[in-house]
Amino acid sequence: MTDASDDYDDAEARDEADAVYAALLARVGEGAPQPRLAPTRRAVELLGDPHRAAPVIHITGTNGKTSTSRMIESLLRASGLRTGLLSSPHLERFTERIRIDGEPIDDAAVARNWDEITPFIAMVDRELEHAGDEPLTFFEALTVLAFACFADAPVDVVVLEVGMGGEWDSTNVADGQVAVFTPIDLDHQSRLGSTITAIARTKSGIIKPAASIVSAAQPAEALSVLTEAAELTESTIAVEGQAFRVLESRVAVGGQLVSIRGLAGEYRDIALPLLGRHQAENAAVAVAAVEAFIGGGAVRLADEVVEAGLGIATSPGRLQPIAADPVVIVDAAHNPHGARSLVAALEDYFDFAEVAFVFGVLADKDVEGMARVLASRPGRFIVTRPDSERALGAEDAARILAGVAGADRVDLVERLDDALDDARAWAADGEQRAVVVTGSIALVGEAMAIAADRGWGRA
């Protein structure tokens, strides 16, 4: 039986955590990161270097960062280590971003740590303002908070996902023992560069001297940059398809069975409760990263560790069914590379004749490129707008989609709840139809909240 005072304490802690988020939101947002490291480095220095309290596995890339980060964390936890994970963005509550032993940080803990670091954050803000610079941004302050939370826990290892890029991302004040690269492609060009080479160069900035580098298969120009960075830092590099690979991926109930050749051995017929060949490849990268961290790539992980670690892996918002009859799937694809993985998974795992894409996107994304990929599937688009200050207007998105898919396949519905109702009604009115919500992580999070509120249940 729950004591009424416990409920009150929980509600009070939640309010305090929400107040932390409000304080973070008052800062310069994630859409305008500052290309600098000195302010974050100054803040952690004042706090006694909490970013050095535990070894770090640092992860960057264009797609698959969060899924791979969560698999790495799960494998480390299955190995008996106490873990900290920083990932972004969140789907529903910001405490999802800072995880201790696989769970979102406790509301009371995040509020307590924020109270403890606030005077030091304020000190750095004043120094920056005195120098004519912007105060710490949302993500810079969040990174400092995460390091403080991990040191406070404490954890044995930190899995650190880059917010944007790598070289000047605030997470890069940490020295990663292992640097992990998921597939690199075009995204955030206005911030990271207009070519894959330029983007890869920025991301390669997380490689520290004598690190172990684990990389997914990459375009030739990206791999060239990573190889050069490895040579300059005297680091070792292991690349998917060469040093490790997916041997087999077979569709299974609730996901897939994968066989992986890692850096130090093979792991056969491992249940992975995630959909998509790309998730099998993410799993291979995760296994190699943990092999590199625990045994320098020379020690095979125990079968039970890989089975347990991948068997409990989750990646919310990635090819996730959130309703049945009709089926509604959410997927956080937000660029052409992600859209290609989504379409491939729909073909491999489902037999839908037609799909209604409920689509909303941020303004800095390649909408036309995504549209060309998604339009290859029979069905229609219902265009809406994510609840984000960075969102592209629904009218603009609909105009671009109509230019690619044809105006007869595109409808505009401003509110997401109405768009979902329209899409579900369309799907229910035909054979083998489904709804897929995609284009933005923010949109996916909103759809998941609506589904939970309405009690749609999971497919």
User: For residue 394, what is the domain's CATH number?
Assistant: 3.90.190.20
421 in any annotated domain: yes
Q: Report, as an integer, the average pLDDT of 70-94.
A: 95
- Residue 266 pLDDT: 97
Tell me: do 292 and 349 sit in the same domain: no
Buried b (16+ CB within 10 A) or exposed e, 217-237: bbeeebbebbbebbeebebeb
Predicted confidence (pLDDT) at residue 189 exceeds the cutoff of 80: no
- Residue 10 pLDDT: 86
Query: Which residue, among 81, 125, 116, has the nearest Cα to 100 in the 3D structure?
Result: 81
Query: Which residue, among 331, 326, 335, 330, has the nearest Cα to 353 in the 3D structure?
Result: 326
Query: Residue 67 and residue 28: Cα distance in Å, rounded?
Result: 27
- Residue 193 pLDDT: 75
Tell me: do 254 and 378 sit in the same domain: no
Predicted confidence (pLDDT) at residue 3 exceeds the cutoff of 60: no
Tell me: do 326 and 363 sit in the same domain: yes
Query: Residue 433 and residue 424: Cα distance in Å, rounded?
Result: 9
Total domain count, the chain: 2
Per the model's pLDDT, the better-predicted residue between 127 and 253 turns out to be: 127
pLDDT in tens, 313-339: 999 999 999 999 999 999 999 999 899
Query: How many CB atoms within 10 Å of residue 455?
Result: 7
459 in any annotated domain: no
Place 1 in a pLDDT band, splitting at 50, 70 and 90: very low
Place 28 in a pLDDT band, splitting at 50, 70 and 90: confident
Per the model's pLDDT, the better-predicted residue between 346 and 458 turns out to be: 346
Q: Report, as an integer, the average pLDDT of 379-405.
A: 94
**Which of 255, 287, 311 finishes a domain?**
311
**Which of 311, 339, 371 finishes a domain?**
311
386 in any annotated domain: yes
pLDDT in tens, 9-23: 788 999 999 999 999
Question: In which domain, by residue range, is 437 found?
Answer: 320-454
Q: How far apart are the first and last CA of the chain?
A: 32
Could you tell me the CATH number of the domain that includes residue 51?
A: 3.40.1190.10
Q: Report, as an integer, the average pLDDT of 208-215.
A: 97
- Residue 8 pLDDT: 52
Predicted confidence (pLDDT) at residue 7 exceeds the cutoff of 70: no
Tell me: do 87 and 235 sit in the same domain: yes
